[in-house]
């Protein structure tokens, strides 16, 4: 009963492993029941940036499922692991962050997570509290359980090895640290994406075993692609949909996701049942549904989760207005300007462009409009006697207000 629900949507890339994990989960459930306790479930999130995005919610939704079944969920904030950066992430090595930065970034992590997790049933833990206590001796002991070759067969490392790109020694610690988290928390279940297979299945399970704990069960989910539809969602790539964005923006960002990624989005970040999703996919395939309408449904679902059903209609209306009917949005920032200012200066001042050169370029490319009229002259001087709407490109808007007389 619980098993099928908990294994729902998992993706191991290996049927044998999946069966093994399902079997272990079954056994473990029975055991904890006899012990009169609940499963201890955890997933770690590294605060390498300050905001969580849709991609983070995939494991969080799975955690929520465990919560609903009464299990104990620990939301680990990887303040210590984020110092290294998971080598599974391509460019995480590049920018090392400090504990101070990680702490700052983590400030609102829990608050953001509670959009998905039940705050009353979530334990928050920071992994620096135990990882920073380890001695060099401890580290040696942990490290001695693994061979260099085991790490090297990992895709992330192997590719770099073959490309003769640097692989830093400390990157190997990441898996050890994550494994130690699982050991320290004595977890029964660890959740993560397919990119965490090595960290969870190889490192954590082995470490727990040699340290005298039962290996935790890996619940592995698929990876949510970003708004480009291909690469894993991440803030540093700029293909993310932040949880803390306004409903209109969230709706629009979902709409910009390529069709091919829709199915992943439905499966990974909405509450639709597998049956409902099958119906949608069938309808798409037969041509019964228009992909755009399906995507609008997707956008409604997602906006509804984070902003509430009551604002969904408004977000959708705003989207239709601006992108389908090509009207100006109802709400946009105002800027009071005085007479005789150069348009390019106003654009830079308002943050619509980074430089005057960029502003001129956009005007040149016919990408700047004032009340719908394309501005032709890069040296345009503004003389307003009534408010006008400045549109830069597809989605940058500003209402210019004339000076008060």
Partner RNA sequence: GGGCGGUUACCCAAGUGGCCAAAGGGGGCUGACUGUAAAUCAGCUGGCAUUGCCUUCGGAGGUUCGAAUCCUUCACCGCCCA
Residue 187 is encoded by which pair of tokens?
């977890």
- Among 172, 165, 175, which residue's Cα sits nearest to residue 196? 175
Distance CA 71, CA 67 (A): 5
Q: Determine, following the binding rule CB under 7 A, whether residue 395 of this chain makes contact with RNA.
A: yes
Interacting residues with RNA between 165 and 194 (CB under 7 A): 165-167
The residue count for binding RNA (CB under 7 A) is 39
User: What phi and psi values does residue 10 have, to the nearest 5 degrees?
Assistant: -80, 160
Q: Which of 70, 258, 274, 333 lies at the binding interface for RNA (CB under 7 A)?
A: 258
Quick one: which segment of 50-58, 115-123, 204-212, 358-366 binds RNA (CB under 7 A)?
358-366
One DSSP character per residue, 71-88 reads: -EEEEEE-TTGGGT--TT
- Among 62, 5, 11, which residue's Cα sits nearest to residue 195? 11
Q: Which is nearer to RNA, 47 or 226 (CB)?
A: 226
Q: Determine, following the binding rule CB under 7 A, whether residue 251 of this chain makes contact with RNA.
A: yes
CB of 84 to RNA, least distance (A): 15
Residue matched to tokens 């700029």:
238
Q: Which of 53, 154, 240, 253 lies at the binding interface for RNA (CB under 7 A)?
A: 253
Distance CA 55, CA 113 (A): 12
Q: Which is nearer to RNA, 60 or 390 (CB)?
A: 390
Q: Which is nearer to RNA, 183 or 397 (CB)?
A: 397
Residue matched to tokens 């206590």:
133
Interacting residues with RNA between 111 and 140 (CB under 7 A): none
Site mask for RNA (CB under 7 A), range 364-393, x = bound: -xxx-------------------------x
Q: Determine, following the binding rule CB under 7 A, whether residue 149 of this chain makes contact with RNA.
A: no
CB of 312 to RNA, least distance (A): 14
Which residues lie below 8 Å from residue 10, measured CB to CB, with a gap of 6+?
18, 21, 219, 220, 221
Interacting residues with RNA between 264 and 293 (CB under 7 A): 291-292
CB of 228 to RNA, least distance (A): 5
Residue 272, H or E segment: none
Task: Tell me the torsion sign for CA atoms 291, 258, 367, 403.
Answer: positive
> Is 321 exposed, middle or buried, given 0-12, 13-18 or 19+ CB atoms closer than 10 A?
middle
Distance CA 112, CA 106 (A): 10
Q: Which is nearer to RNA, 114 or 161 (CB)?
A: 161
Interacting residues with RNA between 287 and 346 (CB under 7 A): 291-292, 295, 319, 323-324
Quick one: which segment of 61-69, 128-136, 199-207, 252-260 binds RNA (CB under 7 A)?
252-260
Binding residues vs RNA (CB under 7 A): 161, 164-167, 228-229, 238, 249, 251-253, 255-260, 291-292, 295, 319, 323-324, 348, 354-358, 361-362, 365-367, 393-396
């Amino acid at each position: 009963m619980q098993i099928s629900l908990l294994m729902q949507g998992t993706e191991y890339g290996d049927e044998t492993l999946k069966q093994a994990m399902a079997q272990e989960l079954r056994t473990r459930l029975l055991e904890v029941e006899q012990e009169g306790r609940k499963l201890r479930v955890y997933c770690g999130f590294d605060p390498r940036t300050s905001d969580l995005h849709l991609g983070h919610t995939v494991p969080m939704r799975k955690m929520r499922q465990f919560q609903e079944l009464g299990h104990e969920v620990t939301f680990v904030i990887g303040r210590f692991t984020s110092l290294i950066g998971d080598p599974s992430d391509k460019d995480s090595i590049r920018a090392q962050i400090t504990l101070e930065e990680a702490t700052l970034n983590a400030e609102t992590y829990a608050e953001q997570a509670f959009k998905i997790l039940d705050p009353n049933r979530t334990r928050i833990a920071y992994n620096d509290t135990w990882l920073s206590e380890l001695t060099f001796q401890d580290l040696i002991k942990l490290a001695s359980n693994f061979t260099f070759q085991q790490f090297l067969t990992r895709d992330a490392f192997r590719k770099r090895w073959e490309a003769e790109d640097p692989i830093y020694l400390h990157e190997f610690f990441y898996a050890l640290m994550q494994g130690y988290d699982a050991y320290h928390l004595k977890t029964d279940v660890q959740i993560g994406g397919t990119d965490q297979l090595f960290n969870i299945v190889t490192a954590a399970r082995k470490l727990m075993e040699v340290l005298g704990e039962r290996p935790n069960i890996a619940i592995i989910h698929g990876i949510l692609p970003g708004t480009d539809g291909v690469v894993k969602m991440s803030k540093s790539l700029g293909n993310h949909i932040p949880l803390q964005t306004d409903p209109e923006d969230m709706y629009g960002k979902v709409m910009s996701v390529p069709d091919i990624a829709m199915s992943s989005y439905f499966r990974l970040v909405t509450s639709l049942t597998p049956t409902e999703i099958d119906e949608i996919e069938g309808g798409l395939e037969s041509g019964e549904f228009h992909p755009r309408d399906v995507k609008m449904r997707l956008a409604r679902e997602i906006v509804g989760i984070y902003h509430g059903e009551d604002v969904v209609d408004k977000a959708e209306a705003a989207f239709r207005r601006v992108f389908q009917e090509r009207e100006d949005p109802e709400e946009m920032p105002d800027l009071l300007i005085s007479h005789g200012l150069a348009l390019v200066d106003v654009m830079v001042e308002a943050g619509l462009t980074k430089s005057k050169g960029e502003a001129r370029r956009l005007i040149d490319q016919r990408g700047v409009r004032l009340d719908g009229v394309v501005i032709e002259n890069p040296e345009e001087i503004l003389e307003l006697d009534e408010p006008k709407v400045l549109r830069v490109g597809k989605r940058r808007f500003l209402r210019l207000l004339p000076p008060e007389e």
